[in-house]
Structure 1
Amino acid sequence: MDMQKQSQWRPQTQQPEGCLVVAIRIPVRISVFLVVLPVRLLWDACTAAARFLRQYVLAPVARFLWRSVLAPTGHATGWILYRLLVLPLIWLYRHLLTPLGHALLWLHARVLTPIGRALLWLLTPVATGVAWLLDQLATALAWIARVLLVLPALALWRWILTPAGRVLGIALREIGDALGHAWRAAGYVARAAGRVLATLFRWIFQEPARWVYRTVLTPVGHVVRDLVLRPAAQAARAVGRAVGQARADLRRALFGEPVPPAAVHRREPVARDTRTLDG
């Protein structure tokens, strides 16, 4: 019987939703996709920029601030708060609040409790009458509230708010599904656009630059190195050697041959005075 009731109940709830879905889903998804696509592209660009900033700017700055500023400031602030607040509060709790609490407990147990029991014993009949009157008044107020508030609210909920909420829920669910599909589709489009831009960049800039480097600049560099730079270096070295030789000849012609350095006496022992391991 339960399964039959469920099978009878499901078509009644799904049939109006199917009609609303057919009328809402396709235009909502198209419009939401057109709105979400630039947002997703901007989101991906901002995510890449934020990842770069976090990795290369914010993380080093945060580590520097934590090690050099925040950690020492936190330790100093904690020490100051402990000295100025925690220790006085501990002293206040031990020497003032604890004795005061014990005194209040003694006052409650020894004075207030007996007085309250005596007053309760004297006021029981009056309290019973007041409680009866309050019960009747509450019953009357509950009936009035039910007639004036509860029944109209139930009618409003059952006949107006529930159908409107069902239609609104279907619309919101379709909008949410459309947002999800549009976000995923925009992600695919963004990735495809990124691949296209990367391919165009490689074809327009990277590959021609690589071809020019390999085909033109490298052979030209080799030719310049072999025909210009290397002979120029050899000629410069030959000129340097010739200039050095000419300078030495000029110095020799003007000042004569340089005097050889005098032998330095190192005070080494003569061969006959040397000692060996044998003697």
Structure 2
Amino acid sequence: MDLEKLDAERPAPPVHRHPSRQPEVAAGEGCLVVAIRLPVRIVVFLVVLPVRLVWDACAVAARWLDRAVFRPLGRALLWAGRAVFVWPLVGLWRYVLVPLGRALAWLGNLVVVVPAGWLYRYVLVPLGHALVWLYTRVLTPFGHGVMWVLRGIGSVSAVIGLGVFAALSWLTRYLVVVPGVWLYTWVLTPVGRTVAWCAKGLAWLVGVLVTGIGTGLYWITRILFVLPLLAVWRWVLVPVGRVLAVVAREIWNALGHAWRVAGYVSLAVGRFLKALFRWVVVEPVRWVYTRVLTPVGHVVRDAVLRPAAEAARAVGRAVRQSLASARLTLRRTRADLRRVLVGEQRPVRGENRREPIGGDTRTLGSSTTALTKD
């Protein structure tokens, strides 16, 4: 009995569960949530399934278009762009603009830089030295003399100005400042204090009136508007909002589950269609190509095409030999006709006619002219 009591009092070990294997009904969910969840998921699944099928079909079509159409088209457009724009521009830059720029740089150096350097060296530098000498030797002493004269004139003017300023200060003090201080002390200050006391009393009265009116308006607004709106918010909108939040959350979760389940269904449908297309179209075509067309093609190649090609090559060789024989016969006939009509031509020896060699040396009894030559 003691062991049983100890086993009953011992806390149970925690159970570790995978996050994806949590129970469907979480803690705190009521019967309304459970009653809404299953119909909402069924309806959402029936709505989402065609959308997911269309989406997956569009994705497969887009991948096929990208692989079979857009990439080759992009490569072709890239090659065409290079051929139309890049290569002409490179040729223009390399064979036109660069030589033209070098020629313009050489011309600018010859026309602008060299004359400017000559002007600076032989005109501006001597002119600058001359101006410096003029400033140092002429203008500076003249300026010092002028400044000495101006300092003397300024000292005299300062003495006269100080006297005038002292007289004006005394007159201003006793004609303006002293009467102004007396007027501020004995007239403006009492009047200002009286006006300030009256303004404070008026402000206090206006504040009391505004406070009373504001308090009345506050309670009227609170009783007529705030309390009814608070009751509507607390007892109507908050419960409705909670119900709508539960419905919206369940619809969102149902959309997620339906999208995933529709993905599995779409994958299964795609695999089924792929297998159906393979066994209905691809495999028969492959079987026909392998079992029928390939042997027939081999038979046609071995029995028809190769003998025909060999016969064609033999005919070609015979035709070429016939044409060669005909050309040779024609050449011989033409040579015989020329020999009959013109006679046998003596072979032309490639020798120097200016100086005879060998047995044709010049002697006294022989002649080398064309008329008396043997």
Q: TM-score range by the shorter chain?
A: 0.5 to 0.7
Q: Residue 3 of structure 2 corresponds to which residue in structure 1?
A: none
Kindly report structure 1 stretches of 4+ aligned residues shifted beyond 6 Å.
262-265
Q: State the SS of the aligned residue for 2:50.
A: helix
Distance 1:124 1:216, change over 3 A: farther
Out of 37, 45, 62, which is 1:33 matched to? 45
Counterpart residue number, 2:31 = 19
For 1:202, the aligned partner's letter is: R
Aligned 1:135-214 pairs, distance under 5 A? 135-214=211-290
Alignment RMSD (CA, Å): 3.8
How far the C-alpha of 1:127 sits from its partner, in A, is 4.5
Query: Structure 1 unaligned runs (5+)?
Result: 1-13, 69-117, 266-279
TM-score (norm 1): 0.58
Letter in 1 for 2:218: A
Correspondences of 1:258-269 after superposition (within 5 Å): none
Q: Distance in 2 between matches of 1:54 and 1:218?
A: 33
Deviates most, 36-45 or 249-258: 249-258
Offset, 1:30: 1.3
Structure 1 residue 129: deviation in Å?
A: 4.2
Q: Which residue of 2 aligns with 1:133?
A: 209
Query: What is the percentage of aligned positions where both structures have the same residue?
Result: 58
Unpaired stretches in structure 2, ≥5 consecutive residues: 1-26, 79-83, 85-191, 336-346, 351-374
Q: What corresponds to 1:230 in structure 2?
A: 306
Contact in 2 for aligned 1:28/1:175 (Cα 8 Å): yes
Match of 1:276 in 2: none
Give the drift of 1:51.
5.0
**More helix per residue:** 1
| Structure index of larger Rg | 2
- The Cα offsets for residues 171-211 of structure 1, whole Å up to 9 and x where unpaired, read as 22222222221111111111111111111111111222222
8 Å contact kept, 1:252–1:258? no
CA shift digits 1:48-68 (9 cap, x unpaired): 44455677549959x98xxx9
CA distance in 1, matches of 2:305, 2:319: 20
Residue aligning to 1:84:
none
